[in-house]
Amino acid sequence: MPLVKGGRIVEDSYQRVLDDAPVPDRIPVIVPAARLLADADDLARRGGVTGVLWPNDRRIAELAPHLHKLALVALVFPKFKDGRAYSQARQLREQYGWRGELRATGEILRDQFMFLERAGFDSFEVKKEADAEAFVEATRRFSVFYQPTGDGRATALRARLARASSATPIAREREQVR
């Protein structure tokens, strides 16, 4: 499954580990939510970074105490029409201030890419190579946004105000007239 991250198609360095499988040492792993909650202390002591596959029907508040031990949270979209993971992403970024890798996985479509990115996702598991290419292209297409969201980018208004505050008095006056 192609992984899009940082505007490029990259190799996934994480290995998925099932609930009952041994967790390898010294390599990045993604464990299911139940495994993380059951073995959080053991996973934190292992030599290697840990990520979690978090379903959209679990509360982020359950995950919050473990965020400082995680390098990645993969939020699941079981159906493209089920948008609960968008809300989870916003909570992680805005309410909990989490800055680790936030991955969208499951049934995500190329039409959803900008919404996913704006909600705070920074990596995307896609099913088709063509969709991966479309995701990469979309990262270059838009650079200005009106709505503030969890991705941390300045809005058009904030950029305009920053430009106006550093401009000459005459330029500021012109900007206010607009």
Instruction: Looking at the structure, tell me whether residues 17 and 85 fall in a common domain.
Output: yes
- Residue 161 binned pLDDT confidence (cut-offs 50, 70, 90): confident
Instruction: Looking at the structure, tell me whether residues 114 and 172 fall in a common domain.
Output: no
162: left (phi over 0), alpha (psi -120 to 50) or beta: alpha
Instruction: Looking at the structure, tell me whether residues 68 and 115 fall in a common domain.
Output: yes
Q: What is the pTM of this model?
A: 0.81
- Is a pLDDT exceeding 60 seen at residue 125? yes
Instruction: Looking at the structure, tell me whether residues 77 and 112 fall in a common domain.
Output: yes
pLDDT tens for residues 74-112? 999 999 889 899 999 999 999 999 999 999 999 988 888
Instruction: Looking at the structure, tell me whether residues 17 and 103 fall in a common domain.
Output: yes
- Is a pLDDT exceeding 80 seen at residue 35? yes
Domain that holds residue 170: 144-178
The pLDDT score that the predictor gives to residue 168 is 60
The pLDDT score that the predictor gives to residue 158 is 79
What 8-state DSSP symbol labels residue 64? G
What values do phi and psi take at 116, rounded to 5? -60, -50
Instruction: Looking at the structure, tell me whether residues 170 and 114 fall in a common domain.
Output: no
Instruction: Looking at the structure, tell me whether residues 81 and 159 fall in a common domain.
Output: no
Number of structural domains found in the chain = 2
User: 20-29, 112-121, 168-177: which has the highest mean pLDDT?
Assistant: 20-29
Helix (H, G, I), strand (E, B) or coil at 150: coil
Q: What is the dihedral sign for C-alpha 78, 84, 86, 92? A: negative
The pLDDT score that the predictor gives to residue 14 is 96
Instruction: Looking at the structure, tell me whether residues 148 and 87 fall in a common domain.
Output: no
Instruction: Looking at the structure, tell me whether residues 105 and 157 fall in a common domain.
Output: no
Instruction: Looking at the structure, tell me whether residues 15 and 30 fall in a common domain.
Output: yes
Instruction: Looking at the structure, tell me whether residues 107 and 76 fall in a common domain.
Output: yes
